[in-house]
C-alpha cells in the first residue's frame, strides 16, 4: 500500500488503536461518504504497519478491534493480541504502528488527519538530510564526556613518555641487534 504521508508518518500506540477505527469512520462520515464507500475505503485505502516487524493491519481489522469482543466467536489471534496491548505478531516487542493512507479521490486525508490528532500531511521535503556526525563528535558535545576523554588522552601520553624514559623501544620499528665477538678476546 502506498503511503500518502512523507516520513515521519503518523504513529499510534497499540492502546490507541481501538479508538482510531471509529475516529476514521467519523471523518469519512463528515466527508459525506455512504456506508458502502466507507467500508471500501477502510478495507482498501487504510492500513497500519508495525514499526518493528512490519505486520500490516487493515482498516477493516481496526473496525473489528473497535467493537467489543464476541464471546461466542473467537477473535483472530492478531486482533486478540492487539486487544491485549501487544503487537499483532507474537514475537514482536513493538508497541507502535504507523498509519498508511492510500490516496483516494473520494477522501481528503488532509481534512481527516486533524480529527485523528495528527497535523495535516507535510509537503515532501526537498532538502538533504542533516549531516551525520561521528561518534567522537557526539561524545565531545557533552562536557562530562569531554573531561573523561581528555583524562584518557593525558594518561596515554604519560604512559608513552614513561615507556621511552625507561628504555622502551618502538614496537615493530627496531631491528634485532647483532652481536659480534672479537676472536682475540675469547680465551
Please provide the average confidence, as pLDDT, over all residues in the chain. 78
- In the predicted model, is pLDDT for residue 148 greater than 50? yes
* Confidence at residue 182, expressed as pLDDT on a 0 to 100 scale: 84
Query: From edge to edge, which strands make up the β-sheet containing 46-50?
Result: 11-13, 96-101, 46-50, 56-58
Residue 47: pLDDT above 70? yes
Distance CA 81, CA 154 (A): 55
Q: What is the reported pLDDT for 153? A: 94
Q: What is the pLDDT of residue 2?
A: 44
Q: Tell me, what's the pLDDT at 158?
A: 93
Q: Rounded to an integer, what distance in angstroms lies between the CA atom of residue 98 and that of residue 57? A: 10
List the chain domain ranges.
11-116, 135-165
Give the residue, 8 or 68, on which the prediction is more confident.
68
Task: Name the residue with higher pLDDT: 183 or 134.
Answer: 183
pTM: 0.56
Percentage of residues of the chain with pLDDT beyond 90: 5
Q: What is the mean pLDDT of residues 71-87?
A: 84
How many CB atoms sit inside 10 A of residue 160's CB? 11
Please report the pLDDT score of residue 104 as a whole number: 82
Which pLDDT band holds residue 172 (cuts at 50, 70, 90)?
A: low
Give the per-residue pLDDT at 122: 45
- Amino acid 106: pLDDT: 82
Q: What is the mean pLDDT of residues 122-148?
A: 68
Q: Which 3-state string (H, E, C) describes the chain?
A: CCCCCCCCCCEEEHHHHHHHHHHHHHHHHHCCCCHHHHHHHHHHCEEEEECCCCCEEEHHHHHHHHCCCCCCCCCCHHHHHHHCCCCCCCCCCCCEEEEEECCECCECHHHHHHHHCCCCCCCCCCCCCCCCCCHHHHHHHCHHHHHHHHHHHHHHHHHHHHHHHCCCCCCCCCCCCCCCCCHHHCC
Q: Mean pLDDT, to the nearest integer, of 100-105?
A: 84
pLDDT for 59 equals 85
Phi first, then psi, for residue 174 (nearest 5°) are -75, 150
- What pLDDT, on the 0 to 100 scale, is given for residue 128? 52
Amino acid at each position: 500500500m502506498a503511503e500518502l504521508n512523507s516520513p515521519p508518518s503518523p504513529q499510534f500506540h497499540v492502546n490507541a488503536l481501538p479508538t482510531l477505527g471509529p475516529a476514521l469512520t467519523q471523518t469519512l462520515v463528515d466527508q459525506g461518504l455512504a456506508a458502502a464507500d466507507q467500508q471500501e475505503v477502510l478495507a482498501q485505502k487504510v492500513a497500519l504497519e508495525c514499526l518493528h516487524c512490519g505486520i500490516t493491519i487493515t482498516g477493516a481489522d481496526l473496525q473489528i478491534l473497535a467493537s467489543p469482543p464476541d464471546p461466542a466467536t473467537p477473535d483472530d489471534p492478531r486482533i486478540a493480541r492487539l486487544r491485549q496491548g501487544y503487537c499483532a505478531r507474537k514475537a514482536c516487542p513493538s508497541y507502535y504502528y504507523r498509519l498508511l493512507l492510500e490516496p483516494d479521490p473520494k477522501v481528503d486525508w488532509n481534512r481527516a488527519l486533524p480529527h485523528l490528532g495528527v497535523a495535516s500531511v507535510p509537503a515532501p521535503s526537498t532538502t538533504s538530510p542533516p549531516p551525520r556526525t561521528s561518534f567522537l563528535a557526539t561524545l565531545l558535545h557533552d562536557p562530562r564526556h569531554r573531561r573523561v576523554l581528555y583524562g584518557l588522552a593525558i594518561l596515554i601520553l604519560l604512559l608513552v613518555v614513561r615507556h621511552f624514559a625507561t628504555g622502551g623501544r618502538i614496537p615493530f620499528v627496531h631491528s634485532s641487534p647483532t652481536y659480534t665477538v672479537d676472536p682475540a678476546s675469547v680465551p
